Structure 1
Amino acid sequence: MNVRRLIPATAVTGAVALGITALSACSGPDTAGGSDGKLDVVASFYPMQYLAEEIGGAHVSVTTLTKPGVEPHDLELSPRQIGSLSDADYILYLKGIQPAVDDAIAQSGAKNTVDAATLTTMETHGAEVDGHDHASSDDHDEETAGRDPHVWLDPVKYAEVAQGVGKSLEKADPDNAADYRANTDALVKKLDALNTEYAAGLKSTTTKTFLTTHSAFGYLAERYGLTQEGIAGVDPEAEPSPARIKDLQHIAEEENATTVFFETLASDKTAKTLAKDTGLRTDVLDPLEGITKKSEGHDYIEVMESNLAALQKALGAK
């Protein structure tokens, strides 16, 4: 995460104007849905895309602002992407994780927007690492500052969000409300089963502590009685201070931690450095901010199951 790379508000305003001009010929003010009759949905990044596709089914055409392999926190939007927000029938995003998206939506004037953060209870995790609050990537908004946005990594909270998304799609497209409701119920059942799998799989372990370069797993840890020890907050690229390394060495020894986790969308340099200094292993714990060829699964459920297997191995599940 590097907030200095985000485009300024003036650039967003100009880009909105350019994007709207570029796309105005494609859709008029009376257009309802795309030319194929589907609801045009814009999702901010993969966890929102997955919900839109699973719940929307055959009735939606989903595009995502964050391409596979792009670190969502650092996303920069093109004028065309920003312009597409004004023409979308429905926008699904998570305020507080992608400031560039938050700013673009606010500038676009789009009416049918759904902030997933309002569909569940948000909490604070991963604060005060090295004396700084790293719990939020959105320092420009007092409403979201200090709030952990990674709710999708808790299947229970993700199910709550899914239910809210389903209801909002019913309102946006009442003709297909029954299908949205059925698809929501089916997804919630899958998430409930995933929660049961996690609860059983992590019930009895040798240790409850895991180390990670990306402090994205606060909700997951809280849900299943684990302790997340982040190296440097929510920024997976941040270099830990010598003091933090020393603290983590002590924690690893005291809590019998075995593994330092890193993610697929960021460098493993920090994890390997800490592992070498502490004599621990390294492994992948995917924050599911995007699906790529390197992902241990083709969708949310598969990658979450891979994460469970990695945690069971690291924590000594019995």
Structure 2
Amino acid sequence: MNVRRLIPATAATGAVALGLMAVSACSTSSAASGKSSDGKLKVVASFYPMQYLAEQIGGNHVSVSTLTKPGVEPHDLELKPRQAAELNEAGFILYLKGIQPAVDKAIDQSEAKNKVDAASLTKLEHHGTEGGHSHQGEEAGHDEHEGEAGADPHIWLDPVKYAEVAKGVGKSLEKADPDHAADYKKNTDALVTKLNGLNTTFQQGLKNTATKTFITTHSAFGYLAERYGLDQEGIAGIDPESEPSPARIKELQTVAKKDKVTTVFFETLASDKTAKTLADDAGLKTDVLDPLEGITDKSKGDDYVQVMESNLAALQKALGAK
């Protein structure tokens, strides 16, 4: 004869409560340690270029989330309460000061132990004037979206500077999670080798061109232009939503004619209206030059390297590479 032992309701309720408390305690402990439930270092990246570095260097030892979802223009991001809480639970935060004011503020206020500003890992420069051409219309973007003293934050579009940042991120991860330091170093070396190869490809691909000048809606390519001896002419400024003045449009039409410009570039995450208007008025073509602030279904590549290679192909075509 089987006898079923009945547990009083109060005892059962108490057992469930104890179980929930145990689970809650584990979750709280995990969050406080900056580790996910499976023991991986919780890394929060501000937007795609930082996410790519974290994933490439962190490998299997990190759990990476990004504050800027695919298709969202990073400059305008406003954080939700849940995202602010996510920052407090992170074991490692990787961001680029000067790109996203709301994110910079939230990170300053977060309780995370390891916060790494990619802008501090390389030297930032000013690109208000390039190739002797004054970039009118950029001032609207300077104060709100750029880093200290108006420096250009778009360092990831130069593979050499991006490699410098990668090295710094690798060392920071080694300190934050010393148990896996050897793997972080190995992954960093592999990524730097990949970025050095990309730099060589750009150097060779842009060595001989019919013109050195390119026009783009978003003045994000100052470092790239400087690295490979090109002249970037921005329609607006660092802020992709800035509207150019009529005088700037007229100036660009003159530049296009003088420097034999063939193409006006626009980007995937912002409107192409201004680029197409300028191109139509000046009899020019349009094409995409991706500032790589996010990867979407419309991106010409699945990751940083692939999209950069697409950018190179677009520049070669527009500049008449030989």
User: Quick check: 2:295–2:303 contact (8 Å CA) kept in 1?
Assistant: yes
User: Quick check: 1:126–1:215 contact (8 Å CA) kept in 2?
Assistant: no
Change (3 A) 1:131 1:285: closer
1:155 aligns with 2:159: yes
- Whole-angstrom CA distance in 2 between matches of 1:102 and 1:24: 30
1:79 counterpart letter in structure 2: P
- Whole-angstrom CA distance in 1 between matches of 2:159 and 2:92: 24
Give the secondary structure class of the aligned counterpart of 2:42: strand
The residue that corresponds to 2:206 in the other structure is 202
The CA deviation string for residues 189-224 of structure 1, in whole angstroms up to 9 with x for no partner, is 000000000000000000000000000000000000
Give the counterpart of 1:179 among 180, 183, 187: 183
- Whole-angstrom CA distance in 1 between matches of 2:211 and 2:71: 32
Change (3 A) 1:233 1:32: closer
The residue that corresponds to 1:136 in the other structure is 142
Deviation (angstroms), 1:30? 5.1
Larger radius of gyration: 2
- Whole-angstrom CA distance in 2 between matches of 1:147 and 1:134: 14
Give the percent of matched residue pairs that are identical in Structure 1 and Structure 2.
Answer: 72
Give the secondary structure class of the aligned counterpart of 1:165: helix
- Whole-angstrom CA distance in 1 between matches of 2:25 and 2:249: 54
Give me the CA root mean square deviation: 1.8
Superposed, 1:193-232 pairs within 5 Å as 193-232=197-236
The CA deviation string for residues 256-315 of structure 1, in whole angstroms up to 9 with x for no partner, is 111000000011101000001111100000000000000000000000000000000000
1:220 counterpart letter in structure 2: L
1:125 aligns with 2:127: yes
1:152 counterpart letter in structure 2: W
User: Quick check: 1:138–1:144 contact (8 Å CA) kept in 2?
Assistant: no
The residue that corresponds to 2:87 in the other structure is 85
Length, aligned pairs only: 294
Instruction: Extract unaligned runs of 5+ from structure 1.
Output: 1-22
Deviation (angstroms), 1:137? 5.7
The residue that corresponds to 1:10 in the other structure is none
Give the counterpart of 2:284 among 266, 280, 286: 280
2:82 counterpart letter in structure 1: R
Change (3 A) 1:179 1:232: same
Give the secondary structure class of the aligned counterpart of 1:92: strand
Deviation (angstroms), 1:132? 5.4
- Whole-angstrom CA distance in 2 between matches of 1:278 and 1:187: 41
- Whole-angstrom CA distance in 2 between matches of 1:235 and 1:263: 12
1:303 counterpart letter in structure 2: V
2:75 counterpart letter in structure 1: H
1:284 counterpart letter in structure 2: V
The residue that corresponds to 1:251 in the other structure is 255
Give the secondary structure class of the aligned counterpart of 1:205: coil
Give the secondary structure class of the aligned counterpart of 1:62: strand
- Whole-angstrom CA distance in 2 between matches of 1:262 and 1:44: 23
Change (3 A) 1:134 1:146: farther
The residue that corresponds to 2:44 in the other structure is 42
User: Quick check: 1:214–1:262 contact (8 Å CA) kept in 2?
Assistant: yes
The residue that corresponds to 1:293 in the other structure is 297
Give the counterpart of 2:58 among 35, 39, 56: 56
The residue that corresponds to 1:12 in the other structure is none
Relative to the length of structure 2, the TM-score reads: 0.88
Deviation (angstroms), 1:111? 2.3
User: Quick check: 1:133–1:146 contact (8 Å CA) kept in 2?
Assistant: no
User: Quick check: 2:240–2:270 contact (8 Å CA) kept in 1?
Assistant: yes
The residue that corresponds to 2:271 in the other structure is 267
Give the counterpart of 1:191 among 188, 195, 215: 195
Give the secondary structure class of the aligned counterpart of 1:83: helix
Relative to the length of structure 1, the TM-score reads: 0.89
The residue that corresponds to 2:104 in the other structure is 102
Deviation (angstroms), 1:136? 3.4
The residue that corresponds to 1:315 in the other structure is 319
Deviation (angstroms), 1:135? 5.7
- Whole-angstrom CA distance in 2 between matches of 1:131 and 1:244: 7
The CA deviation string for residues 2-52 of structure 1, in whole angstroms up to 9 with x for no partner, is xxxxxxxxxxxxxxxxxxxxx999423753511101000000000000000
- Whole-angstrom CA distance in 2 between matches of 1:32 and 1:151: 28
